Amino acid sequence: MENLLKLIEYGQSYWMDDLTRGMIQRGELQRRVSEQGLRGITSNPAIFHKAITKSSDYDEQIQRLVGEKGGVHEIYETLVIKDVQDACDILRPVYEQSAGLDGFVSLEVSPYLAHDTKGTIQEAHRLHQAVARPNCFIKIPGTDAGIPAIEQCLYDGININITLLFSIRYYEAVAQAYIRALERRVEENKPIRQLASVASFFLSRIDTLTDQLLGHRIIPDASGAGRQPQQMLGKAAVASAKIAYASFKRIFSGERWQKLADLGGRVQRPLWASTSTKDPLYPNLKYVEPLIGPHTVNTMPESTIAAFADHGVIAANSIEDGIAEAAGHLEDLEKAGVDLDFVTRQLTNEGVQKFIEPYDLLMKTLASRRELLLADATGQQIISPGAAKTEFAAALESLDAKQFGRRLYAHDALLWE
């Protein structure tokens, strides 16, 4: 575990990209914090779907909530808020010892709000109040609608983890939103010392899509001027992260930032996310070893944490090695016909969908469990939507995709047009 413990000496905190009730109840999370240097936790709908559906740790609470006549969404939020609160309590000493730099646990707003500024602000406030822990981050995606919500929530004093960042341009936009929020607070004589934020830059998915597009362009044994597509494989993500870090250093320096720093403002740290290697031909620490540097966070799944503890190589400020080469690589991608703006927009859309799907599956699972428990309590047979005939399955899926249930619950008049 020496590698994990040494990271903080090089200015980087490592967080874990996982959270389950089992790891809380069996003391695993406490051991990681007290013995292995863990300094934070991130969660998302996919993580909670796996945690709740793959174990019996939540059954007792689900049964009690159904008995109290809780609805499906109420049950979901009660389950995840309980886990986040307990994890926050375990990490609270890290939060205190680091003066509010680390020790955070992240809880994400509904993925259905990714393009809804007003709804995001309302839900962020509601979740922040429900968790009621100073070391809770509310996660908001860095979409066009998310950026004004991020600024407003930060201005309102809510600590924010910006998620689903793939683009350097959008990274810079959320960094500027953070600074504007601090400046607005200063103008109104509101404190900024305890306000914290991280900007989560997703990595492995960038290589997955750019490699696919480069593969379309590979011509074996081709000759010609410039770098060939096969020479660019697997380099887009780390190159993007290095350029984003250069933007971070530029934005959080100079006279404008210094005024805020003098009042206790802390930088919004870049957080490297999606750091498990998706391609089996790439090293398993591809998104860890080259991205170590001051004022950064790397959030890793358990397998990547184990690999780094076993054979990780730590080099001081590796994040700034090869900056010129990184910029050149991104230029080469454009010359090869890979439109990075398209890539990052596509990845953002896919990222939202990748959170919607497990969120919906979890809602369906909780609905089925609720129905079974109600049936047991009343002795009545309840037929769930899942029991519908096969010929209706496609229609039900289409209704789900069009958010029929959410719109009906919200009395959306457009359903009847």
Query: Which residues have C-beta within 8 Å of that of residue 162, sequence separation ≥ 6?
Result: 139, 140, 141, 142, 146, 150, 174, 197, 198, 199, 200
Q: Judge if 376 and 405 occupy the same domain.
A: no
Query: Using the 8-state DSSP alphabet, how is residue 183 labeled?
Result: H
Query: Which residues have C-beta within 8 Å of that of residue 299, sequence separation ≥ 6?
Result: 14, 15, 16, 17, 40, 42, 200, 271, 272, 273, 275
Distance CA 214, CA 147 (A): 31
Tokens 């981050």 identify what position? 137
- CA 95, chain centre distance (Å): 20
Q: Judge if 71 and 165 occupy the same domain.
A: yes
- The one catalytic residue in 139, 235, 242, 286 is 139
The domain that holds 182 is classified in CATH as: 3.20.20.70
Q: Judge if 399 and 317 occupy the same domain.
A: no
Q: Judge if 296 and 416 occupy the same domain.
A: no
Q: Judge if 393 and 362 occupy the same domain.
A: no
Alpha helices by DSSP H, 288-339: 302-311, 323-335
Query: Which residues have C-beta within 8 Å of that of residue 233, sequence separation ≥ 6?
Result: 211, 214
Q: Judge if 280 and 417 occupy the same domain.
A: no
Alpha carbons within 13 angstroms on the beta-carbon side of residue 191 total 4
Q: First-to-last CA distance in the chain? A: 61
Q: Judge if 377 and 412 occupy the same domain.
A: no
pLDDT of residue 1: 73
Q: Judge if 330 and 397 occupy the same domain.
A: no
Per the structure, the count of domains in the chain is 2
Contact by Cβ (8 Å): 260, 184: no
Q: Phi, psi (5° rounding) for residue 123?
A: -70, -40
**Domain range spanning residue 413?**
389-417
Q: Judge if 183 and 156 occupy the same domain.
A: yes
Average pLDDT per block of 10 residues along the chain, 417 residues long: 92 97 97 97 95 94 94 96 98 98 97 97 98 98 98 98 98 98 98 97 97 93 76 97 98 98 98 96 97 98 96 96 96 96 97 96 93 75 49 63 66 66
Contact by Cβ (8 Å): 52, 79: yes
Dihedral (C-alpha) 230, 232, 233, 238: value to the nearest 10 degrees?
Answer: 170
139 is catalytic: yes
Contact by Cβ (8 Å): 111, 166: no
Cα 78–82–85 angle (5° rounding)? 135
- Whether pTM > 0.85 for this model: the answer is yes
Alpha helices by DSSP H, 252-339: 254-261, 302-311, 323-335
Q: Judge if 375 and 395 occupy the same domain.
A: no
Q: Judge if 395 and 319 occupy the same domain.
A: no
Q: Judge if 301 and 407 occupy the same domain.
A: no
Distance CA 144, CA 247 (A): 19
Query: Smallest Cα–Cα separation from 171: which of 265, 319, 273?
Result: 273
